[in-house]
Structure 1
Amino acid sequence: MTFTELNTPQRTIMTPGPVEVDPRVLRAMSTPILGQFDPAFTKIMNEVMEMLRQVFKTSNKWAFPVDGTSRSGIEALLCSVIEPGDKVLVPIFGRFGHLLTEICERYGAEVHTIECPWGEVFDQEVVIEEIKKIQPKVTAMVHGETSTGCMQPLELIGAACREMDILFIVDAVASIGGVDIRVDDWFIDGLIGGTQKCLSVPSGMSPITYNHRIERVISARKKVERGISTEEDRKSELDMRHPMVKSNYLDLSMLQDYWGPRRLNHHTEATSMLYALREGLRIVLQEGLEERFDRHAYHERALIAGIEAMGLDLYGERSSKLTTVTCIKVPQGIDPEAVRGMLLDEFGVEIAKSFGPLEGKIWRIGTMGYSCRKENILYTLSALEAVLIRHNAPIKIGQSLQATLDVYSEKYTPNKVTS
């Protein structure tokens, strides 16, 4: 068999992740490879850590990427603090709360859950009351739930956890870099982000940050070293310090030694991915965090105007909507997968379906990072209208783009746009 040169089709990716990668990031990935202990490379590592602190709005010592998809960062934080029998509370308002639950259970936690209907978020006081009742070691929660397009307020929950000396760990994979997240101000002890969403970097790394409270737990889990012989002393320090964590690859105590000043070998760093992350973070900071949040809200507003002018209904509570994901109810009698298939085949536009109880009931459009652009919004709406007409959907023809253009005719002023 003869294999031809790789030639992927051109797509307009409007899913909640992965999204289109910024061309500057793709160029950075072609930068020549350096050895992982080359001073030029360790300088890049230090720069990435500092940029992550700024994006996460934290003064934490620890802010670095875990190699692997976003799930690797989630599992690394949870497996490094959870011991068998620990109580963990997971408030669930969509698919990824169930993921947090599963990971905690796999590491032996006694998991307690509360749930609210999909399409809604929790009143923070409800969560706080459950925390008081359960008294868990950890409260683990999703911030931006892409399965439902909802965003959970966190600041009161974080403050309550800190007051009760409970660790607060947050999945912000879908929201970091697209909406305002304040790790220190909201008393978040550990936070996980993703590269393939609002940062517009390929999937393959999971930026995390955690504070001294989590570091203290990690340090306490290391085995006490006793009776080390002179011969053993000559061995690698890493070999003598096996922590009591089941995972080697995701053990934060070992990753600290790799990312910290000691630079102890743990794994071979994903060099090109780190270049990509550095460039993605540089672009975010160059744009400005507040300006970037405003841009996402501006294009969200334009998208919603076009959807509603078409006669389609949004799914979920508007007050808790996630800026970067817009969920649309599938019109009665319309085959949702036929619509998605035609969008991809005829227009090269990809939008997403959903999961679980929302399977076949909603479409999800992501407006994240580099995909969050005027031309993408206009093209997606025009393609969706054309496809729905072909499917005899009961929509208002010819009004969607005009409503969106009305939004775009307003002068875009960063720091003044609200969703």
Structure 2
Amino acid sequence: MTSSPPLVPPPRLLMGPGPITAHPRVLQAMSQQLVGQFDPAMTGWMNDTMDLYRRVFRTANEQTFLVDGTSRAGIEAALVSLLEPGDRLLVPVFGRFGHLLREIGERCGAEVHTIERPWGEVFDVEEITSAVARVRPKVLALVQGDTSTTMNQPLAGLAEALAGDDVIVYCDATASLGGNELATDAWGLDVVTAGLQKCLGGPSGSAPITVSPRAVELVQGRRHVEAGIREDRDTARGTRIASNYLDLAMLIDYWGPRRLNHHTEATTMLYGARECARVLLDEGLDESVERHRLHGAAMLAGVQGLGLSVFGDQAHKMHNVVAVEIPDGVDGDAVRAGMLTDYGIEIGTSFGPLHGRVWRIGTMGWNARRDAVLTTLATLEQVLREAGAAVTAGGGTGAAREVYAG
């Protein structure tokens, strides 16, 4: 007799800021049998995955692949590979994840400069370009969609405004890719990373990344190979990249035609990441963004229809998550617990200055659909009534239905 019961996850509708309920096609793909990492079938799937994510990122970058690990592994791979001790890094901070970029930069030994906006606001392009002109950073690191505040930083036009500035632009698109417009090449982004657990509709554990040719040149200029293993060790130059596992130069050789062994590929996660891209591209990039916009608009109208206030500059809100102000006198954690325990629906809280002040409700990936929105709104209304809050009867689902009616 086994010492513990089999793993049977409780039924959940994950309507928070991520992770979300995985798409059934992704779960099916991840149930397939393993093959060896150098099996021709596997190397073929790796090539296919690279091509799929070039389309997802809207890029021609040859170096577009997966970093095995959560979205944070992709972020760290980008920054530890781009930054050497003493390099200047500029981070516009408008939420928790800007602070994360700053911390990682500091760990790399970079000279980190920040500009900040209050949570709930975003930067004008002019503010960013002025800071670049003043700081003269090697790397500009931005978050596109910061789920801690639900804000979506405008990036279009940034490349044109930075013309003539020799700066590498890195973008963390973990929470935005697939549900909000992102155009890597057209927007002049050098490195972009993401995760599966938001609008891409998969589980956490794989981080798609794309790297421009000039960023590749920078990273390979720091090449420091494993002594006695890689034949190009005598050409090593620059400062050693602090991480072996997250060394983009090594990962480029691992995914590229040389197939130099670096680590054992996370096969099941590759299956899932590949299927996330296939699902998205089958729907169409523009169609997916519009679906997230529609259901996000319905959720926004619904919470307002209940008489609740929303946080932040709504002109720059992400399509896929809304921050709802917790009404006075209501125990926010108790409401979240009631939705989860009694109805199997999860919504999120937030961090820092917004902890205990807002709920974050997501409509992303597989859950960006009408029935999930209406069920969540009906449940929120019931639990708020039980908590003694004054809400408009039927106001949430009614307002959402008006959005769907057009």
Q: Say if 1:249 and 1:398 are closer, same or farther in 2 by CA, change over 3 A.
A: same
Alpha-carbon separation, structure 1, partners of 2:235 and 2:10 = 48
Task: Identify which of 353, 357, 360 aligns with 2:356.
Answer: 360
Alpha-carbon separation, structure 2, partners of 1:237 and 1:280 = 36
| Structure 2 residue identity aligned to 1:266 | H
Bigger shift: 239-248 or 108-117? Answer: 239-248
| Structure 2 residue identity aligned to 1:91 | P
Alpha-carbon separation, structure 2, partners of 1:113 and 1:319 = 24
Alpha-carbon separation, structure 1, partners of 2:332 and 2:160 = 42
Stretches of structure 2 that go unaligned for 5 or more consecutive residues are none
Aligned to 1:280: 276
Alpha-carbon separation, structure 1, partners of 2:191 and 2:253 = 18
SS at 1:163 equivalent: coil
Alpha-carbon separation, structure 2, partners of 1:354 and 1:31 = 36
Aligned to 2:368: 372
Alpha-carbon separation, structure 1, partners of 2:316 and 2:70 = 27
After TM superposition, the score normalised by the length of structure 2 is 0.96
SS at 1:286 equivalent: helix
Q: Say if 1:401 and 1:39 are closer, same or farther in 2 by CA, change over 3 A.
A: same
**What RMSD, in angstroms, separates the aligned Cα atoms of the two structures?**
1.7
Aligned to 2:196: 195
Task: Identify which of 307, 322, 326 aligns with 1:326.
Answer: 322
Matched, 1:381 2:357: no
Aligned to 1:413: none
- Return the offset for 1:110: 0.1
Matched, 1:300 2:300: no
Aligned to 2:77: 76
- Return the offset for 1:238: 7.2
Aligned to 1:183: 184
What is the count of residue pairs matched by the alignment?
Answer: 403
- Return the offset for 1:130: 0.8
Alpha-carbon separation, structure 2, partners of 1:241 and 1:387 = 64
Alpha-carbon separation, structure 1, partners of 2:338 and 2:276 = 32
Stretches of structure 1 that go unaligned for 5 or more consecutive residues are 411-419
| Structure 1 residue identity aligned to 2:108 | Y
Q: Say if 1:224 and 1:352 are closer, same or farther in 2 by CA, change over 3 A.
A: closer
Cα contact 2:25–2:275 (8 A) shared by 1: yes
| Structure 2 residue identity aligned to 1:290 | D
Alpha-carbon separation, structure 2, partners of 1:121 and 1:354 = 18
Cα contact 2:199–2:365 (8 A) shared by 1: yes
- Return the offset for 1:271: 0.3
Q: Deviations over 1:351-399 (max 9, x none)?
A: 0000000011000011111011111101100110000001111221222
Cα contact 1:177–1:198 (8 A) shared by 2: yes
- Return the offset for 1:246: 1.2
- Return the offset for 1:239: 6.8
- Return the offset for 1:124: 1.3
- Return the offset for 1:90: 0.3
Cα contact 1:190–1:211 (8 A) shared by 2: yes
Q: Say if 1:182 and 1:66 are closer, same or farther in 2 by CA, change over 3 A.
A: same
Alpha-carbon separation, structure 1, partners of 2:163 and 2:317 = 26
Hey, which bits of structure 1, 4+ residues long, moved more than 4 A?
A: 238-243
SS at 2:199 equivalent: coil
Mapping of 1:3-22 within 5 angstroms?
3-22=4-23
SS at 1:312 equivalent: coil
Cα contact 1:162–1:187 (8 A) shared by 2: no
Matched, 1:312 2:308: yes
Cα contact 1:331–1:394 (8 A) shared by 2: no
- Return the offset for 1:240: 6.4
Q: Say if 1:224 and 1:325 are closer, same or farther in 2 by CA, change over 3 A.
A: closer
- Return the offset for 1:220: 1.4
Aligned to 1:210: 211
- Return the offset for 1:159: 2.8
Cα contact 1:161–1:168 (8 A) shared by 2: no
Aligned to 1:32: 33
SS at 1:206 equivalent: strand
| Structure 2 residue identity aligned to 1:34 | V
SS at 2:250 equivalent: helix
Alpha-carbon separation, structure 2, partners of 1:240 and 1:52 = 33
| Structure 1 residue identity aligned to 2:231 | E
Instruction: State, as a whole percentage, how many aligned pairs show the same letter.
Output: 49
Cα contact 1:19–1:200 (8 A) shared by 2: yes
Q: Say if 1:399 and 1:129 are closer, same or farther in 2 by CA, change over 3 A.
A: same
